[in-house]
Amino acid sequence: MLYRLTIPISEEAITALRVGDQVHLSGVIVTARDAAHKLMIEKFIRVPQVVELVDLHARLKELLAGGVIYHCGPVVRQDDQGRWHFVAAGPTTSIREEPYEAEVIAHFGLRAVIGKGGMGPKTLQACRDHKAVYLHAIGGAASLIANSVKEVVDVYQKDALGVPEAFWVIRVEDFPAVVTMDSHGNSLHAQVKERSTAAFKDLISEG
């Protein structure tokens, strides 16, 4: 089934989703990779608030409440007027954020995380506890996905973290993805791993 979701996303809309559902997202999302997740954990979540980053923390709390993080290191360009544009916006491998994501979901009130390859049990439990989902974006379709990015609203920590690792705030329309971890404790990635392991054991026993 195809669901069209507007960000911020309600808890009711998230709990209606099941593994295998297709979604098209519209609204404002935030990109965050390894360095950005590490910053959120070390400067906002596990320590008292860092004074020099208080404004960024407040802005992220606003953007991510009911919102979406996208594991993406974009290719960008800047036009003659100084505006940024996404040239490529493909997903990066999500499992690298497994040590952080559960705390990020809980702290900011996220409703969805987008990436590729799936995530582990800590994130799955956080999705269940806090009513969120993991959305799988199509790897290898960076230019196609960039077409759904209609505007770069802002960017944070670009100079400190670099372009791929910065917090890019973008407005998307009909961003395509598939639910592969839902808020009911179901993980397509875990199911595939279980079936693959069983098939491998059968092959070994037959040999």
Give the residue extent of every domain in the chain. Answer: 2-206
37 is catalytic: yes
Of the chain, the percentage scoring pLDDT greater than 70 comes to 90
Fold of the domain built from segment(s) 2-206: fumarase (3.20.130)
Q: Give the separation between CA 206 and CA 204, rounded to whole angstroms.
A: 5
pTM, two decimal places: 0.91
| pLDDT tens, residue by residue, 90-114 | 999 999 999 999 999 999 999 999 9
- Give pLDDT, residue 204: 60
At residue 49 the predicted structure's pLDDT band, cuts being 50, 70 and 90, is: confident
144, pLDDT greater than 70:
yes
| pLDDT tens, residue by residue, 72-88 | 999 999 999 999 999 99
Lowest mean pLDDT among 1-15, 29-43, 65-79, 127-141: 127-141
Catalytic residue among 24, 37, 57, 136: 37
Count the helices and strands in the chain (H runs, E runs).
Answer: 8, 9
- Give pLDDT, residue 143: 76
149: closest CA among 63, 68, 28?
Answer: 28
197, pLDDT greater than 60:
no
Q: Over the range 1-19, which residues count as b (16 or more CB within 10 Å of their CB) and which as e?
A: eeeebebbbeeebbeebeb
Report the SS3 class of residue 8. Answer: coil
* Number of neighbouring beta carbons within 10 Å of residue 89: 26
Beta strands in the chain (DSSP E): 2-6, 22-31, 68-70, 75-78, 84-88, 112-115, 133-136, 149-156, 167-181
String of DSSP letters for 135-172: EE--TT-HHHHHTTEEEEEEEESHHHH-TTTSEEEEEE
Lowest mean pLDDT among 49-53, 56-60, 188-192: 188-192
Q: Give the separation between CA 61 and CA 30, rounded to whole angstroms.
A: 11
- Give pLDDT, residue 140: 67
Pairing outcome for strands 112-115 and 68-70: parallel
| pLDDT tens, residue by residue, 112-131 | 999 999 999 999 999 999 99
